[in-house]
Structure 1
Amino acid sequence: MLSTIPSTGVLSLVAARKSYSRIPEVVSVPNLIDLQLASFRWFMENGLKALIEEITPVRDFNGNRMELQFIGYEFREPRMTEEECQHRDKDYSIPLYVKARLIIKATGEIKEPFEIFFGDLPLMTANGTFITSGTERVIVSQLLRSPGVYFTVQDDTATGRPLCHTSLIPSRGAWLEFETSNRDVVSVKIDGRRKIPVTSFLRAIGYGTDQELINLFSDVDNSMEHLYIQSSIEKDPLIRDTAGALIDLYGRLRPGDPANVENATKLVNDMFFSPDHYDLGAVGRYKVNRRLSLEGRVSEENRALTREDIVAIIKQIIKINNSVDHADDIDHLGNRRIRTVGELIQNQFRIGLIRLARVARERMSIVPLDQVTPGGLVNIRPVVAAVREFFGGSQLSQFMDQTNPLAELTHKRRLSAMGPGGLSRDRAGFDVRDVHYSHYGRICPIETPEGPNIGLIGSLAAYGRVNKYGFIETPYRRVLKELLSHDARLVGLALREDVIDGAKTVLSAGSVIDDKSFKSISKLSEQKIKVEPFASDEIYYLAADEEDKYVIAQAHAKLDTRGRFLEERIESRFSEHYLYEPPTKIDYMDISPKQIFSVAASLIPFLEHDDANRALMGANMQRQAVPLLRPEAPLVATGMEKEAVRYSSHVIFARHDGTVTSVTSEKIVILTADGQEDTYKLAKFMRTNQGTCINQRPIVSRGEKVTAGHVLADSSATENGELALGQNLVCAFMSWHGYNYEDAIILNERLVKDDRLTSLHITRHELEARDTKLGVEEITRDIPNVGEESLRELDEEGIIRVGAEVGPDDILVGKITPKGETELSAEEKLLRAIFGEKAREVKDTSLRMTHGEWGKVIAVKVFSREEGDDLPARVNKWVQVWVAQ
């Protein structure tokens, strides 16, 4: 519904919106920043615990002197609030304490558990960001190839025959790469070294004789034309037993070292079968077991390599070479996973803990037993340095884009294929950048940068979520074709088959089940009743590789009120194929037409009519829109406007039901049902990372009843809790007496007069008073060679007053600095004669307004060592001035 404001003639929206959607919303949009919040919560509760268990116990090099055990950890309260950290340029962090116990093995003494401070861990805010050095940062999720086994096919250059190449990628440990030659020899490379026949490698891990090897693969290596195992045996006729294979392998991996069977066996076992040196990770083991059909034979708890894995890989290679099985698509999202913030921090923490354990082992060897303590063995610097390096220098730790609420939300949902262990923009080809069919409902096909990063940086689709293995899932409605005999949903559905009780037909196919016939069916022994297909309200989240098994209908398929399909052929898809299938073939159905797109792309009305390139530009340009003085929600909306701001820090929503008891420009107080006062503090003219302004305005009044989730305050880029990035302007596409040229536009003067497109920007100016070699700097109003006119807005301490209007070169903070003695010029001698010593002692180093800028001072903060504020060394006073312009 629209209402008109007569004074300006501008259209304004009231709270109610009319929806013209023909497709009902089955699932509401999920928490859009849960990607960040859930991952960090996992790290705090499980990831850190797993790391501490991983390095415990720490023993000395001989293992018989002492042992350090970490038996638990706890977090204490943050030392500062988020607001204090932003004003003081500090880190918002939480102290981590680890409880350690020391066992002296030589004497049997067990030292009492001792709490060790392990440093401050950056703490995620409720908005999914981190505050480091006073600025908000976001950890971007990384999209990279999952650990596991990958089979690819390459055409042989000489014969043109497709041959299988395989990579086994662990989370930690040596890579194995298998190749097939055009002479049917299967070879393996260990960590990129010179390849050896795979039969030599199999002999080294325990399959010694020729007959044993041939029998091991007889079920798959049975082609009349190509015998891969026999060809590989003939390739290396000198090695015929396990001992010879072990010594040969040791010589290749450790050239120059004396080789014997015992050393070689230990090396092979450590390199592949020891959890300390080889780790597929939970994801890698899950992927290997699924790809090689090893579920039930190899436990998911066993993350090291097994002999069964290697045999199954070689069998799969032979099958693919014989065209019995297919190769993998490495760009499929079933083979690429998300490394979220929790895992990224865990990996960095692991590096620090491994260094800490190494230092502790070294100290164990030299510290006298009667003087040793847990605190004396542990040096936390490696842990602190590793965490600081990640947050301060990693490619994935980024200065948050806060231009507007959408920019903030999009940054938190961004997926990058670059970063440590990822791709490089210089070497990434077209295939990895291109849109893939498995992106459907998981990664937006539209929103990506236009420059060299195109396709390497994407955005999570609106309904997408990340599962425990890091694979992106998207929700679907389950299409049911059969129900249990006691299920009440049977009423009103037609049968596809007769319902039989023994030899008797209770109800024949084609009959519609009414209440009476349902009672008859429900009395039968429990059985599955086949009914006409219908889209149920059951929601299932499917990963990309799981989805490939099913036929999925589009969200716009026509349904009746019971969810039954109204058309004989349904537009659907199966893997990468698009089909028209009968309802009986449909397994799942999309939940929404917008599930394919990201939040930014979903904000474009009538997106289906846009050219894809222009839609990409539109999705990206919305993030660059600066908040305006008078925000206005769009007349034509898509329904995502409320969701886009719900999970940003710009808008305030009620936490509980209650009654508004107090409303000011600074805060809102709500009295909840249980008599508690709920206070909401409003942000006033707060500067963002990009210099735009967040100014929250209450939109509720005293005495108003509110429910949980009700909008209490708007921001600079919202109206009534909806995203408002621009203005509703009337546009005309026409020539104008031949004066317009290319994409020039002509504006109505009223746009300027009414401040329709005026925005507010805030700059922060700061100044420090330090101890210098020549003396102490002083913040003062008494500045040499400056007239009273220039000092009129300064207070008695020399600091600009709040509310003052300032222009180019105006003094914001007066400061004088001692200067050294030099040869005096004639003018300086005259000044000394007139003004005395003062003229030569100090120089004017005041903080002045930047050239070419005007504005109004909106806030001033002063931090002083005398007042007990924590300041850097040699700094006595620190003044911050915020100017709005």
Structure 2
Amino acid sequence: MFSKNGNKRVSFSKLETVLDLPHLAAIQTDPFEDFLQAKVDPDKRENRGLQAVFLQVFPITDVQEIYSLEFVRYIIEQPRYTIEECQERNMTYGAPLKATLRLVTRESEGNTSKVKDIIEQDVFLGELPLMTERGTFIINGAERVIVSQLHRSPGVFFDEEVHPNGKKLYSARIIPYRGSWVEFTLDVNDIMFVHIDSRRKLTATTLLRTIGFSSDADLLRAFHKVVEEPFSAKKSPNKFIDRYTAEPIVDPETGEVLIEGAELLTEEHIAKLIERKVSSVKLLDIDLSKESPVLPNTIAKDKKDKIRSAEDALNRLYSLIRPGDAPTLEMAQALLEKLFFNPKRYDLGDVGRYMINQRLGLDIPIEQTVLDKKDFVSIVKYLLDLRNGIGEVDDIDHLGNRRARTVGELLGSQFSVGLMRMARTIKERMSLRDAEPPTPQELVNARTVSSVIETFFGSSQLSQF
């Protein structure tokens, strides 16, 4: 058996070695190499680590879309000093990080715009601390290690609490890697609400209307089985009492709506149907002795709040998130898109998408790290099942629902913060343009990125001696 440096290792144990000792520092070195992709050709790097952070932030455009700063590649040069020299001189062991950026200038011609000028330059972004073979960093001459962080995994988690009257109340929480938290809750009256970023609540059906289930009938068909049954005054019509309608029942002659959808049929309703000679009715297949009418109850709350269409729901959502602003339909749709379906604003991460797929039995591609319509539908269905005694809740403190954020992921989040700040200053400088177009080097202030990285390595709780 040979050690890593090539020396022969002699074992005096009586038992034979069954398994070689693993390289325990690999939990530090492998994620860092994966983050940098330093050994990969710059034009062939995969969309992960530092490459993914750059692609998330760029391109950066000004308000009038005259200038556009695009990312081409990044280069990590050779370290200027060795590890021993850095320790002797109280310096940081690192290498210069440069990014090749391309500034595209456009000019408008009528309704179209054409490219006027392209400037491509290498821009220095600061010194990037490098990891030693031992999985440590040399920061100001001192050897430091970045501790992996154990945190709540992105995904969906179901929970329960007991109301003072003894009733179990269920909830579901979608935790993203980046973006707005969404929590579905059932209250004591069996009405389902949704909270976005812990703001004021709105009904879950209001949110579902914004993503495609605009009418009551659409909502009921998505979550319950609908049966069409013949109706006649001669064939015991009272058997339909205490059953829910699946869609509005209309007069066969005049087309007048007699009973709305999601209504509980009463004796008065039956008498009206007999009078108007209705021949068939579409009802929900719900056994009220075993199932709770959560969805009809929630739709009834919508009726009180006068939310009857997708447009009403979008306006309600907009007024909840942006109170005081007068909403338009386009603005409300754009806000919904930003909240859950824009990769720049919302990110479940590969882990979050995998966890949701596993928990709900979905087959959405791992690459899709934003929410999908199927996610919302499956979560509401699972909550309805929990209320009816089917399924299990999660233990949020179970280690299966937690994950370790390694050094590569922690550095990625720090670079993201630094580049976002840099993007804001670049936009400001673009708007303050002179007669001559600026260059990428004039637009970029490298200090914003390097200061974030220095603060993380120098004073973060995760950076230990």
Residue equivalent to 1:50: 52
Which of 347, 351, 356 aligns to 2:422? It is 356
* Alignment match, 1:243: 311
**Residue 372 of structure 2 aligns to which amino acid in structure 1?**
T
Give the number of the structure with larger relative contact order, counting CA–CA contacts within 8 Å between residues 6 or more apart: 2
Q: Distance in 1 between matches of 2:397 and 2:67?
A: 50
In structure 1, what residue type is equivalent to 2:459? Answer: G
Report the residue type matching 1:173 in the other structure.
Answer: G
2:156 equivalent to 1:149: yes
Q: Could you tell me how far apart the structure 2 residues matched to 1:270 and 1:369 are?
A: 35
Larger proportion of helix: 2
Q: 1:221 to 1:73 in 2, by over 3 A?
A: farther
| Aligned-residue offset at 1:328 | 1.3
Give the letter aligned to residue 44 of structure 1. L
Residue 101 of structure 1, CA deviation:
1.3
Shift in Å at residue 276 of structure 1?
2.1
Q: Write the distance in 2 (CA, Å) between the matches of 1:28 and 1:394.
A: 35
Deviation at 1:134, TM superposition (A): 0.6
The code of the aligned residue for 2:224 comes to S
- Match status 1:90 vs 2:91: yes
Q: For residues 328-382 of structure 1, what are the alpha-carbon distances to aligned partners after superposition, in whole Å with 9 as ceiling and x for unaligned? A: 1222222101100011011001101111111111111222352411111111111
Give TM-score, length-normalised by structure 1: 0.42
Partner deviation per Cα, 1:709-758 (whole Å, 9 max, x = no partner): xxxxxxxxxxxxxxxxxxxxxxxxxxxxxxxxxxxxxxxxxxxxxxxxxx
1:313 and 2:374 aligned: no
- Partner of 1:111, secondary structure, is strand
Whole-angstrom distance in 2 between the partners of 1:209 and 1:108: 47
Within-5 A mapping of 1:699-738: none
Shift of residue 236 of structure 1? 2.9
Tell whether the 8 Å contact from 2:25 to 2:134 is kept in structure 1 after alignment.
Answer: yes
Q: Is the 8 A contact 2:315 2:327 kept in 1?
A: yes
Q: Is the 8 A contact 1:221 1:228 kept in 2?
A: no
Tell me, in whole angstroms, the C-alpha distance in 2 between the residues paired with 1:369 and 1:290.
Answer: 56
Aligned pair partner of 1:376 in 422, 429, 442 = 442
Q: Which residue of 2 aligns with 1:330?
A: 396
1:293-322: CA deviation from partner (whole Å, max 9, x where unpaired): 111xx2222211121111111011111221
* TM alignment of 1:90-489, pairs within 5 A: 90-106=91-107, 108-158=115-165, 160-219=166-225, 222-225=286-289, 226-237=292-303, 238-295=306-363, 298-368=364-434, 370-399=436-465
Tell me if the contact between 1:221 and 1:229 (Cα under 8 Å) persists in the aligned partners: no
1:801-812 matches, cutoff 5 A: none
Residue 69 of structure 2 aligns with which residue?
A: 68
Question: Which runs of no fewer than 5 residues in structure 1 stay unpaired?
Answer: 1-13, 400-885
Paired residues of 1:221 and 1:227 also in contact (CA < 8 A): no
Shift of 1:264: 1.6
- Structure 1 distance, partners of 2:322, 2:428, is 26
- 8 Å CA contact retained: 2:119, 2:440: no
| From 19, 23, 42, the counterpart of 1:27 | 19
State the alpha-carbon separation in 1 of the partners of residues 435 and 377 from structure 2: 50
After alignment, is 168-177 or 43-52 more displaced?
43-52
- Structure 2 residue 31 is matched with structure 1 residue 39: yes
Q: Say if 1:69 and 1:101, in contact at 8 Å, map to a contact too.
A: yes
Shift in CA distance, 18/216, structure 1 to aligned 2, threshold 3 Å: same
Distance in 2, Cα, partners of 1:249 & 1:243:
10
Residue aligning to 2:78: 77
Number of residue equivalences:
379
CA–CA distance in structure 2, aligned partners of residues 209 and 266 of structure 1? 21
Inter-CA distance 336–16: structure 2 relative to 1 (3 Å threshold): closer
Q: Once the two structures are superposed, what CA deviation does each residue of 1:74-104 show, in whole Å capped at 9, x if it has no partner?
A: 1111111111111111111111111111111
Indicate if the aligned counterparts of 1:47 and 1:343 stay in contact, CA closer than 8 A.
Answer: yes
Distance 1:208 1:136 in 2: 59
The letter for the 2-side match of 1:92 is Y
Percent identity reads 42
What CA deviation, in whole Å up to 9, does each residue of 1:514-552 have, x standing for no partner?
A: xxxxxxxxxxxxxxxxxxxxxxxxxxxxxxxxxxxxxxx
Q: How big is each residue's C-alpha offset from its partner over 1:392-428, in whole Å with a ceiling of 9 and x where there is no partner?
A: 11110011xxxxxxxxxxxxxxxxxxxxxxxxxxxxx
Alignment partner of 1:334: what SS? helix
The 3-state SS of whatever aligns with 1:120 is strand
**Which residue identity lines up with residue 421 of structure 2 in the other structure?**
R
How big is the shift at 1:108? 2.1
SS at match of 1:157: coil
SS at match of 2:205: helix
Counterpart-to-counterpart distance in 1, 2:10 and 2:143: 32
**CA RMSD, Structure 1 to Structure 2 (Å):** 1.9
Contact 2:119–2:439 under 8 Å retained in 1: no
Q: In the TM superposition, what is the alpha-carbon distance from 1:221 to its structure 2 partner?
A: 8.5
Residue type of the partner of 2:178?
R
Q: Does structure 2 conserve the Cα–Cα contact (< 8 Å) formed by 1:282 and 1:303?
A: yes
Q: In the alignment, does 2:84 pair up with 1:18? A: no
Q: Which amino acid aligns with 1:368?
A: D
d(CA) in 2 for partners of 1:52 and 1:320? 42
Separation in structure 1 between the aligned mates of residue 127 and residue 100 of structure 2, nearest angstrom: 15
How does the TM-score come out when normalised to structure 2?
0.78
- 1:16: Cα distance to partner? 4.5
In structure 2, relative to structure 1, the CA distance for the partners of 1:221 and 1:379 (3 Å cut) is farther
Residues 221 and 318 in structure 1, CA contact (< 8 A), matched pair in contact too: no
Instruction: Judge conservation of contact 2:220–2:295 (CA < 8 Å) in 1.
Output: yes
- Aligned to 1:105, the other structure's residue is in SS state strand
Contact map agreement 2:183 2:196 (CA 8 A) in 1: yes
Alignment map for 1:632-651 (pairs within 5 Å): none
Please show how residues 774-813 of structure 1 align to structure 2 within 5 Å.
Answer: none
Amino acid at match of 1:187: F
Give the AA of the match of 2:223: F
Cα distance, 1:215–1:371 mapped onto 2, change above 3 Å: closer
Structure 1 CA distance for aligned equivalents of residues 285 and 121 of structure 2: 61
Deviation string, structure 1 residues 567-620 (Cα, Å, up to 9, x no partner): xxxxxxxxxxxxxxxxxxxxxxxxxxxxxxxxxxxxxxxxxxxxxxxxxxxxxx
Deviation of 1:113 (Å)? 2.4
Q: Could you tell me how far apart the structure 1 residues matched to 2:133 and 2:453 are?
A: 20
Structure 1 distance, partners of 2:308, 2:384, is 22
Q: Secondary structure at the match of 1:278?
A: coil
Q: Which residue of 1 aligns with 2:262?
A: none
Q: Which runs of 5+ in 2 are unaligned?
A: 1-8, 38-47, 108-113, 226-283
Code of the aligned partner of 2:60: V
Q: Distance in 2 between matches of 1:253 and 1:111?
A: 40
Change (3 A) 1:17 1:222: farther
Equivalent position amino acid for 1:224 in 2: L
State the distance in 2 between where 1:105 and 1:369 align.
14
Structure 2 CA distance, aligned partners of 1:196 and 1:224? 25
